[in-house]
Amino acid sequence: MNADNAIGDRHQARSGWRLFWSRVVSRLGWERLARRALLPVLLLALWQYAASAGWVDPSFIPSPAAVLDAWWQWIFGPRSTFAWYSGTWFEYVWLSAWRVFVGFAIASIAGITVGVLIGWFEKVRDLLDPLVQGLRPIPMTAWLPFATFMFGIREGAAIFLIAMGSFFPIVVSCTHGAEQTPKNLVRAALMLGTPPGRLLTRVVLPSALPSIFNGLRVGLGIAWVLVIVSEMLAVKGGIGYAMWTAYQFVRIDLIIAAMFTMGLLGLVSDRLLLLLNRRLLRWNTGLRAR
Partner 1 sequence: MEHGTTSPLSQGAAGRIEIQSVRKTYRDAAEGREVLALDGVTLNIEPREFLTLLGPSGCGKSTLLNILAGFEKPDAGRALLNGDPITRPGPDRGVVFQDYALFPWLNIQQNVEYGLREQGVSKAEAQEISARYLAMVGLTGFERRFPHELSGGMRQRVALIRVLAIDPQIMLMDEPFAAVDAQTRTILQRELERLWMQTKKTVVFVTHSVDEAIYLSDRVTVMTARPGVIKAVLPIDLPRPRDPTSDTFNRFRRDITQLIEVESRKVFAPRRPDLADVGPLSPPKPILALWALRQFLSGKRSM
Interface ranges with partner 1 (CB under 8 A) = 182, 184-185, 187-194, 203, 206-207, 209, 282-284, 286-287
Distance CA 271, CA 289 (A): 20
Could you tell me which residues come within 8 angstroms of residue 173 by beta carbon, excluding any fewer than 6 positions away? 115, 211, 212, 214, 215, 216, 218
**For residue 87, is it left (φ>0), alpha (ψ between -120 and 50) or beta?**
left
Q: Is 170 exposed, middle or buried (0-12, 13-18, 19+ CB in 10 A)?
A: buried
Q: Pick the closer one to partner 1 by CB: 5 or 207.
A: 207
From the CB of residue 168, how many other CB atoms can be counted at a distance below 10 Å? 23
Q: Which residues of 210-233 are buried (b: 16+ CB within 10 A; e: fewer)?
A: bbbbbbbbbbbbbbbbbbbbbbbb
- As measured in angstroms, the least distance from the Cβ of 215 to partner 1 is 18
Q: Pick the closer one to partner 1 by CB: 144 or 204.
A: 204
To the nearest 10°, the Cα dihedral for 139, 140, 146, 149? -150
To the nearest 10°, the Cα dihedral for 237, 242, 245, 246? 170
Q: Pick the closer one to partner 1 by CB: 39 or 191.
A: 191
Q: Pick the closer one to partner 1 by CB: 187 or 271.
A: 187
- As measured in angstroms, the least distance from the Cβ of 270 to partner 1 is 23
Q: Pick the closer one to partner 1 by CB: 23 or 176.
A: 176
- As measured in angstroms, the least distance from the Cβ of 134 to partner 1 is 22
Distance CA 275, CA 256 (A): 29
Q: Pick the closer one to partner 1 by CB: 26 or 207.
A: 207
DSSP 78: P
275-279 long-range contacts (CB < 8 A, ≥24 apart) are: 277/213
Q: Pick the closer one to partner 1 by CB: 166 or 173.
A: 173
